[in-house]
Amino acid sequence: MLEVLGVKGRANGPAAARATAAGAAVLLAAAGCGVLGGGESPEPDEGRAGPRVTVSPAPGATDVPPNTPVRVSATEGSLAGVTIEQVRAGEEVEALPVTGTLSEDGRTWTSDWNLVPGTAVSVYAAAEGSSGRQREFRSEFTTAPVDEDGALGLASNFPRSGDTVGVGMPVIVGFDTPVEYKEQVENSIEVTSEHPVEGAWNWVDDETAVFRPREYWEPYQEVTVDLRLTGVEAAEGVHGTEDHRLEFEIGREMISTMHVPDHEMTVAVDGETVRTIPVSNGKAHRRFNTTTSGVHLLMEKYSRLVMDSATVGIPQGSPGYYRVDVDWAVRTSNSGEFTHAAPWNTGNLGVADASNGCTNMSVSDARWYHDQALMGDVLETTGTDRELEWDNGWGFYQRSWEEWLDHSVTGEPQVTDGSGTPGSVHGEGL
């Protein structure tokens, strides 16, 4: 016996419910299936009316692009269930299921996600005629393989599975090759959270995609990211070959605020102020040593760090060059800004701005902040004439939600309730 037929995935509504219930009652045995030829079901037996089924890609097709949708249609009846199995060439039988969506009239089923490259694909369909008679059909085709030079892979991701992060944390995905067909790739990545929100993707460059919610995440919840990259076409002839899943936790809400002229930082956890820290920020003699205003996200932290201005464009021998060891450093941008201990600047803490752009603290305050900090915690800074750029570090909330959504190639929000992504993962015109 083959597995019970059913409709899974994005299918919803009364038609989907009917199809699922009907499919659960149908068992297909290999001897009981009609083998499709030329894309259509065989003629019904003489004297017996029955439904007809059409499958695309056509039965017997070879080297089918893996981002081709599978469509199963019924005439003179409706679909009772569809199952797709994929088997990699040269391997033992391995069921690689594909979920799909059933149309409201129950006559057309379309696969949700892409196919595995280099596999033999079997499509099993059951259809029911107006008389209640059910017929079963089978169709087979193969997908084109992908060589190593034509494979899309995951190069990096933040956060990592198992991380606990702050409420501002974005999902940052780095690919190992430039992505040209960004919409297909965006739609292949589904973010799901216990407390659903609207979110969207933007691209920092051709290899880096960033998802952020409309507003900060609700604290204390689990977030899952399903990267269904298998079969997705990233560029001409470049396809994904492997899926990935990320699972991380949003921790407590820690939001720090700092109005630079006041020379202090206020730290609130779950809405309650837990510490007020005297600070000294950038002296603002020039743009380089002006602390940026805007929504910063904490990126990484070090118990000890060598700060060298050559890494931010001021080489040794140039005016303003410095190289200094600091303790308890927390990065807030990619332009050299950290919170850190500055015992040499004790007299200015809470009084005057005298740093090269960093937020100086006492050793005890800097260590406390370092120990409390989670990647993705929020630092909201105001009061200077240098605005944080949206792509400087993780300044992604510097774009308004409207701007962020406008820069998404889908142009639509993704709701993190498990309902799917805004558009198709399949190739245009397929």
What type of residue is 139?
S
Q: What is the rounded distance in angstroms from the CA atom of residue 258 to the CA atom of residue 334?
A: 19
pLDDT of residue 136: 93
pLDDT of residue 430: 62
Q: Spell out the CATH class of 154-251.
A: mainly beta
Two domains, one topology: 13-142 and 154-251: yes
Stretches where the chain sits below pLDDT 70 are 1-49, 89-97, 312, 320-321, 429-430
Give the burial class of 23: count Cβ atoms within 10 A of its Cβ; 0-12 exposed, 13-18 middle, 19 or more buried. buried
For 254-373, CATH number out of 3.20.20.140, 2.40.440.10, 3.20.20.450, 3.40.630.20 equals 2.40.440.10
Report how far apart, in Å, the C-alpha atoms of 45 and of each of 48, 51, 346 are: 5, 11, 93
Strand 100-102 relative to strand 323-331, pairing: unpaired
What pLDDT digit, counting tens, does each position of 384-410 carry?
Answer: 999 999 999 999 999 999 999 999 999
Q: Tell me, which fold does domain 13-142 have in CATH?
A: Immunoglobulin-like (2.60.40)
What pLDDT digit, counting tens, does each position of 290-339 carry?
Answer: 999 999 999 999 999 988 777 767 777 777 667 788 999 999 999 999 99
* Residue keyed to tokens 């005629």: 129
> Which helix (H) or strand (E) element contains residue 405?
helix 401-406
pLDDT of residue 307: 81
Give the pair of three-digit tokens for residue 74: 């019924």
pLDDT of residue 4: 29
Domain ranges for the chain:
13-142, 154-251, 254-373
Give the pair of three-digit tokens for residue 117: 């490259």
Catalytic sites, residue numbers: 340, 358
pTM of the complete model: 0.85
